Amino acid sequence: MSETRTFTVQGMTCGHCVTSVTEEVQEISGVEHVDVVLETGAVTVTSSQPLDDTAVRAAVEEAGYRLG
């Protein structure tokens, strides 16, 4: 069973930012799909196990951005 949650990321300005965030979040254990909408900062994550908020925050910060 999958779980889908949406986070908001601040500071993304272009497609490269979207790629960076997507790549980092995809590396979190259990993550199956990541969808990022640049205009709104919405990052929707589908995972096979409950997401660890700390891991999501760390991934976003590793990419160079912050959760809003």
Written as six digits, the tokens of 7 are: 């986070």
Q: Smallest Cα–Cα separation from 47: which of 9, 1, 13?
A: 1
Q: Rounded to whole angstroms, how far apart are CA atoms 28 and 11?
A: 21
Please report whether residue 14 would count as binding its own copies according to CB under 8 A: yes
Please report whether residue 36 would count as binding its own copies according to CB under 8 A: no
Please report whether residue 16 would count as binding its own copies according to CB under 8 A: yes
Stretch 49-68 residues interacting with its own copies (CB under 8 A)? 64
Please report whether residue 1 would count as binding its own copies according to CB under 8 A: no
Q: Rounded to whole angstroms, how far apart are CA atoms 65 and 48?
A: 24
- Residues at the interface with its own copies (CB under 8 A): 13-17, 19-20, 64
